Amino acid sequence: MVTTIPSAHGEVAVGDVLRTSRTYTVDEVREFRGLSGYPDNSEPRYLPYLLVVAPLTELGGDIDYLSGRMTWAVTRPVAVGEEITAELEITRLEPGPGVTKIAFDARIRCGDEVVVSGTSKGVVLVGEGARR
């Protein structure tokens, strides 16, 4: 039997790829700076690193993911206004009591160029606090 987990995109299994795109504005970068505790109205050149990977956390939220470990490599800074596309490819699902262990590969692309690549593993909540 194939292990699946619920997601905002329906049931997903190993091999499935979740994908989302976003473009951050100057105002959103400023709001993020405020949220970080470093309010700064100067014109940002680059997206804060954490906003570059933010669409991946959106995909994580779609599967109620709690991260245990994540490792990323970043090839270049991403300019404010560039569209970024996150891809999360599930590589392992292992059901257990209350949680399902999960591992995935992840990428952030600007067009065809991969600017962030990495892996993560953790758990998906399947009991209290879960989506369903």
Residue span 73-92 as binding mask against another protein, x where in contact by CB under 8 A, dash where not: xxxxx---------------
User: Considering only CA atoms, which of 18, 92, 27 is closest in space to residue 56?
Assistant: 18
Q: Are 18 and 9 in contact (CB under 8 A)?
A: yes
**Least distance (Å) from another protein to the CB of residue 97?**
16
- Nearer to another protein by Cβ, of 1 and 9: the residue is 9
**Least distance (Å) from another protein to the CB of residue 111?**
19
**Least distance (Å) from another protein to the CB of residue 109?**
17
130 binds another protein (CB under 8 A): yes
Q: Under DSSP, is residue 91 helix (H, G, I), strand (E, B) or coil?
A: strand
Give residues with Cβ within 8 angstroms of 30, minimum separation 6. Answer: 39, 40, 41, 44
Q: Which residues of 51-78 are buried (b: 16+ CB within 10 A; e: fewer)?
A: bbbbbbbebbebbbbeeeebebeeeeeb
Give, as ranges, the residues between 14 and 73 that touch another protein (CB under 8 A): 20, 22, 28, 31-33, 35-38, 40, 42, 44-46, 48-51, 53-55, 57-58, 60-73
**Both tokens of residue 52?**
């570059």
Q: Using the rule CB under 8 A, give the single segment among 9-17, 96-104, 105-113, 120-128 that binds another protein.
A: 120-128
User: Considering only CA atoms, which of 25, 79, 90 is closest in space to residue 56?
Assistant: 90
Interface residues with another protein (CB under 8 A)? Answer: 20, 22, 28, 31-33, 35-38, 40, 42, 44-46, 48-51, 53-55, 57-58, 60-77, 122, 125, 128-131
